[in-house]
């Protein structure tokens, strides 16, 4: 085996997969090194992809030719659109996955890439020459050389599992931690800190009394993630719902001191929006009950994931709390829940291309940057892979702006603000969320993906055909006029608060909130409507055009700050009037534009004005 590659990716979790695939798709050879080939694409926690904010990321990954959307479409066993009745900006797709099928799908998709090579091994060291990364050394001494290395080691750096007052080193249950690499990164004086996350116990479905539980079916037809998928072919399964109750809460409250977190064994912070059941009982003490989703782990297993009771309580307490819930009175547990603490590297030491500012050639993506979630990891992996390949080839880096993609929002948040708890994506993090919808992720990103060499001919042709269909239909609707006295106008009057007072074309009528595309065409006797998925995009484009336009204007106004570059050699010390605190923050983070500087916590509007004056003079 040759041991020199243009790019090496370390770790084949959700970040590593996308990173390696992006390098290979963009035309460079890549070595994907991972502890265990059988765990490529493993879901460490819940068997689900997507959700609010996260579904948006999956669509963006797909629009750029990534793996995640296509993999979940081959492995999803329940698909739903969340917030279906709310505005289009916050609608989000979520799917339950068959864990084994998901891993299989990822492996198949990776093996389709001729420039991608995989190898099983645990990286213990980075090779460094002339102050740059030069490759990696496995724990067994084997060396692989590359000018660019992407680290995507997830929860494995100095990972430690906690259950009650017991704890032991692990990367996640069943996997060894990456201790040698963690020590090396600390020795190299990377900014290291610790975070924690947790997972619930798993239940043997044969011991659940489903007859007393609420059932939650998926949407029919199942909404796919990938812009390439016509329909979901996998057999679908429902989820079930149960609730915690006063007895569950009493068991937890009585045993709080035995929880790894509340017993003082863990100090680091966990994900606020994915709290443990102990956290929920303490923080929301007035809530009498919490909803718990019982999610199937696959089509050929009875294992069930109880979503909502992540815990680090001792196993006996876990058993008691599970059995206190309706339908779970005789539950048999298959695996204990646990919490895990791990090292992460402060992402403020990264550039927006996810390259380390401390060690040229080193890129980091995923949980190692302090995020939580498969989708957040995958999106960063894609970006790091793109940029590692471009950097190695001497090409300019790429990162979408905040108004272009959730990926841009996340990376900007990470590198300018950093974090003190695991970072997860939400629609509320995006100030331009009306532009950043799931349905238009391809319109926003597939053209740039094509330029970056990530989008193959099949995807491109589909995209072009879709755009043409949308354009053609808009022109058709604009060309058909409905007279105020026509029979169609009389049909429409039944749906409208007031009858039409003048002639209108169909595009104008589609703007009315009362009129949907399908009904409008039916009432007006127009044949050949667009397929449902395209019609939805057309309708959103039409109905929200005014709001989107307003947001475009806002983006344009703010762009002035974003494009106001700060010279790399600017000494913030010479700008008079800045407080020492602001000066230190700017000096430490070296923002590249006035826009980026304005988002650093502690940088006040007054400080931004001073910076602006100084930079304008410099320009
Ligand atoms: P991972 O998926 O962790 O993958 C890391 C990969 O790197 C693995 O393949 C590993 O084998 C490999 N690797 C590590 N070190 C080395 C090395 N030195 N050499 C070679 N290979 C190496 N997310 C949520 O959104 N909500 C949750 O509630 C949640 N709970 C979680 C609970 C637990 C117990 C765990 C472990 C994770 C949880 N997560 C949760 C997080 C989610 O699993 C991660 O965010 C996601 O998997 C991160 O992807 P990643 O690619 O960064 O890392």
In ligand 1, which atom is closest to the CA atom of 380? 52
> What would the mean pLDDT of 246-262 be, rounded to a whole number?
93
Q: What confidence tens digit (pLDDT) does each residue in 377-434 have? A: 999 999 999 999 999 999 999 999 999 999 999 999 999 999 989 999 999 999 899 9
* Number of helices followed by number of strands (H, E) in the chain: 20, 23
Chain mean pLDDT for the chain: 94
Q: Please work out whether the CB of residue 339 comes within 6 Å of at least one atom of ligand 1.
A: no
What pLDDT does residue 1 have?
61
CA of 343 to the centre of ligand 1 (A): 12
Residue in 39, 42, 155 to alter for ligand 1 test, most ligand atoms within 8 A of Cβ: 155
24-38, 56-70, 450-464, 478-492: range with lowest mean pLDDT = 478-492
Picking from 162-171, 252-261, 450-459, which range would have the lowest pLDDT averaged per residue?
A: 252-261
Instruction: Give yes or no for residue 378 CB within 6 A of ligand 1.
Output: no
pLDDT category at 619 given cuts 50, 70, 90 is low
CA of 44: how far to CAs of 170, 199, 203, 293, in Å?
12, 9, 16, 18
Question: Does residue 318's CB lie within 6 angstroms of at least one atom of ligand 1?
Answer: no
Ligand 1 within 6 A of CB of 181: yes
Q: How many Cα atoms within 13 Å fall on the side-chain side of residue 345?
A: 32
Could you tell me what percent of the chain has a pLDDT over 70?
A: 100
Asked whether 218 lines ligand 1 (CB < 6 A), one says: no
Q: In terms of pLDDT, which residue wins out, 247 or 271?
A: 247
C-alpha 54 to ligand 1 mean position (Å)? 16
| Class of residue 539 by CB neighbours under 10 A (exposed 0-12, middle 13-18, buried 19+) | buried
Residue numbering of the annotated binding site for NAD(+): 270-284
Q: How far apart are CA 294 and CA 239, in angstroms?
A: 6
> What is the distance between the alpha carbons of residues 94 and 80, in angstroms, rounded to a whole number?
5
Please report which confidence band the pLDDT of residue 606 belongs to, taking 50, 70 and 90 as the band edges. Answer: confident
- The pLDDT, as a whole number, for residue 323 is 98
Sheet of 123-129, strands arranged across: 123-129, 132-138, 143-145
Atom 7 in ligand 1: which residue has the minimum CA distance? 11
Residue 39 CA to ligand 1 centre (angstroms) = 11
Alpha carbon nearest to ligand 1 atom 24, residue: 373
**Residue 372 CA, ligand 1 centroid: distance in Å:** 9
Residues 9/72, Cβ–Cβ less than 8 Å: no
The pTM of this model reads 0.94
Position in ligand 1 atom list of the atom nearest CA 198: 32
The 10s digit of each residue's pLDDT in 535-587 is 999 999 999 998 889 988 888 888 888 888 898 888 898 888 888 888 988 88
Mutation to probe ligand 1, out of 8, 9, 12, 13 (largest number of atoms < 8 A from CB): 13
Does the beta carbon of 386 lie inside 6 Å of ligand 1? no
Residue 317 has pLDDT above 70, yes or no: yes
- Pocket flag, ligand 1, residue 373 (CB < 6 Å): yes
**Of 449, 514, 340, 386, which is closest to residue 59 (Cα–Cα)?**
449
Residue 60 contacts by C-beta under 8 Å, 6 or more apart in sequence? 379, 405, 406, 407, 441, 444, 445
Render pLDDT for 272-293 as a digit per residue (tens, 0 to 9): 777 899 999 988 889 999 999 9
* For residues 356-370, average pLDDT: 97
Q: For 432-448, what is each residue's pLDDT tens digit?
A: 999 999 999 999 999 99
So what's the pLDDT on residue 225? 98
The SS3 assignment for 125 reads strand
130-159 average pLDDT score: 98
Split at pLDDT 50, 70, 90, the class of 608 is confident
Which of 59-68, 258-267, 334-343, 475-484 is predicted least confidently?
258-267
- Among protein residues, the one with the nearest Cα to ligand 1's atom 47 is 374
């Amino acid at each position: 085996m040759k041991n020199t590659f243009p790019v090496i990716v370390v770790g084949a979790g959700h970040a590593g997969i996308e990173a390696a695939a992006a390098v290979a798709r963009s035309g460079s050879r890549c070595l994907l090194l991972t502890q265990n080939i059988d765990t490529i694409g493993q879901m460490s926690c819940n068997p689900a992809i997507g959700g609010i904010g996260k579904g948006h990321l999956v669509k963006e990954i797909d629009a750029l030719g990534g793996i995640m959307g296509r993999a979940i479409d081959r492995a999803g066993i329940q698909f739903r659109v969340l917030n279906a009745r709310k505005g289009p900006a916050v609608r989000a797709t979520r799917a339950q996955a068959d864990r084994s099928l998901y891993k299989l799908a990822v492996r198949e998709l990776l093996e389709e890439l001729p420039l991608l090579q995989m190898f099983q091994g645990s990286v213990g060291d980075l090779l460094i020459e002339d102050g740059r990364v030069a490759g990696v050394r496995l724990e067994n001494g084997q060396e692989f050389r590359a000018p660019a290395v992407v680290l995507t080691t997830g929860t494995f750096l100095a990972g430690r599992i906690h259950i009650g007052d017991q704890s032991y080193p692990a990367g996640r249950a069943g996997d060894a931690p990456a201790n040698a690499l963690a020590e090396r990164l600390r020795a190299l004086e990377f900014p290291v800190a610790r975070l924690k996350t947790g997972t619930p116990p798993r239940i043997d479905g044969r011991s659940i009394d489903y007859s007393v539980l609420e059932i939650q079916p998926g949407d029919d037809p199942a909404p796919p993630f990938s812009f390439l998928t016509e329909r979901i072919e996998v057999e679908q399964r429902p989820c079930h719902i149960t609730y915690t109750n006063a007895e569950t809460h009493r068991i937890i409250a009585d045993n709080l001191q035995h929880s790894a977190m509340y017993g003082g064994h863990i100090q680091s912070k966990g994900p606020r929006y994915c709290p443990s059941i102990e956290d929920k009982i303490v923080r929301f003490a007035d809530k009498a009950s919490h909803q718990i989703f019982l999610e199937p782990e696959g089509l050929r297993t009875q294992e069930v994931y109880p979503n909502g009771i992540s815990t680090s309580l001792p196993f006996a307490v876990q058993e008691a709390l599970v059995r206190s819930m309706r339908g779970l009175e005789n539950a048999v547990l298959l695996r204990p829940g646990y919490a895990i603490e791990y090292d992460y590297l402060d992402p403020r030491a990264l550039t927006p291309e996810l390259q380390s500012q401390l060690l040229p050639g080193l890129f980091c993506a995923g949980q190692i940057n302090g995020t939580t979630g498969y989708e957040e990891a995958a999106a960063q992996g894609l970006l790091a892979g793109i940029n590692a390949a471009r950097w190695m080839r001497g090409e300019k880096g790429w990162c979408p702006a905040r108004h272009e993609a959730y990926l841009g929002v996340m990376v900007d948040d990470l590198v300018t603000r950093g974090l003190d708890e695991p970072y997860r994506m939400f629609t509320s993090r995006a100030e331009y969320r009306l532009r950043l919808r799931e349905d238009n992720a391809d319109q926003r990103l597939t053209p740039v993906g094509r330029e970056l060499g990530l989008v193959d001919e099949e995807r491109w042709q589909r995209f072009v055909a879709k755009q043409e269909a949308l354009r053609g239909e808009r022109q058709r609707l604009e060309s058909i006029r409905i007279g105020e006295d026509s029979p169609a106008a009389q049909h429409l009057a039944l749906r409208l608060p007031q009858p039409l007072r003048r002639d209108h074309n169909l595009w104008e009528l589609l703007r009315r909130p009362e009129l949907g595309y399908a009904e409008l065409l039916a009432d007006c006797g127009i044949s050949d409507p667009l397929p449902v998925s395209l019609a939805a995009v057309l309708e959103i484009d039409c109905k929200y055009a005014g709001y989107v336009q307003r947001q475009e204007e806002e983006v344009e106004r703010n762009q002035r700050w974003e494009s106001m570059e700060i010279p790399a050699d600017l000494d913030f010390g010479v700008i008079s009037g800045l407080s020492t605190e602001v000066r230190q923050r700017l000096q430490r983070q070296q923002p590249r534009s006035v826009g980026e500087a304005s988002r650093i916590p502690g940088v006040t509007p007054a400080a931004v004005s001073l910076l602006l004056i100084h930079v304008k003079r410099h320009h």
